[in-house]
Structure 1
């Protein structure tokens, strides 16, 4: 699958591993195609929502 297929609603993971994330938005950010992602982690008690941005080239699509 190519990086161009990553879009809002895609389920992705960092190529190096990590949690499954949902892409909220993909846009050019200072010349780098960037995905804004959300994911949930369970620390001690309720699930906590996390979010961050990643270059699209660092992500892979995950079959959901």
Structure 2
């Protein structure tokens, strides 16, 4: 029974490392694109367009004025 509680106490640290790993793995290609000045401009524009279109779409779907 002692082993069970040791494993349960390690779970929060495991969960945090999995979430951090997910975001680092997902955002790594974007960080690579930001290194080049030419690609940085287009990457920022694309990210802003995605955020703006998502915001607008959600506002229209939820009928928020």
Tell me the TM-score normalized by structure 2: 0.19
Tell me the TM-score normalized by structure 1: 0.19
More strand by share: 1
More helix by share: 2
